[in-house]
Amino acid sequence: MTEDSERAVRAAIEGELRLLDPEVRASPERVLELLDPDFTEIGASGRRWDVESILTVTSGGSISPDSPVEVSEMSGAVVAPGVVHLTYFADNRGRRVWRSSLWRLTQAGWRMYFHQGTLTG
């Protein structure tokens, strides 16, 4: 991996971890700094989310500071110039989800463009 690719993957990972932080999720302004205006998500429930609907969930305290999300096996790759794909497992209160995100570089910095979660056994 080139130095530029490593830097891009690091930036996407930092953004992903910030989005999992209960303090960041409690602040719509901070969440908006990390989501692309065209953001979409297919959640582990199968539901489709957009920026507006995800802000409703995140500001409602979907991740408790007393029970943070545990992340494991996070890895990333540059799939095109300015686009990083991340995958990882997220464990929250006994619920394990295989997660996948696409991050893209915008004039405002790295923003999550797409996210999908799939429940694991």
Question: What CATH number is attached to the domain comprising 45?
Answer: 3.10.450.50
**Which residue range forms the structural domain that includes residue 91?**
3-61+78-119
Per residue in 39-78, pLDDT tens?
Answer: 999 988 899 999 998 888 776 655 555 667 899 999 999 9
Cα–Cα dist 35/27, whole Å: 13
Position 60 scores a pLDDT of: 62
User: What are the φ and ψ backbone dihedral angles of 49, each rounded to 5 degrees?
Assistant: -120, 155
Give mean pLDDT, residues 98-111: 97
Q: What is the DSSP letter of 94?
A: T
- State both tokens at 22: 């209960």
Confidence class for position 84, pLDDT limits 50, 70, 90: very high
In a domain, 72, yes or no: no
- What percentage of the chain carries pLDDT values higher than 70? 92
Structural domains in the chain (count)? 1
Confidence class for position 15, pLDDT limits 50, 70, 90: very high
Residue with the larger pLDDT of the pair 46 and 111: 111
Position 55 scores a pLDDT of: 86
* DSSP one-letter string for 26-70: T-HHHHHTTEEEEEEEE-TTS-EEEHHHHHHHHTTTSS-TTSPPE
With a cut of 80, say whether residue 101 has pLDDT above it: yes
Q: Which residues contact 110 (CB under 8 A, 6 or more apart)?
A: 8, 11, 12, 15, 34, 84, 103, 104
Q: What is the DSSP letter of 107?
A: T
Position 66 scores a pLDDT of: 62
With a cut of 70, say whether residue 118 has pLDDT above it: yes
Position 61 scores a pLDDT of: 54
In a domain, 71, yes or no: no
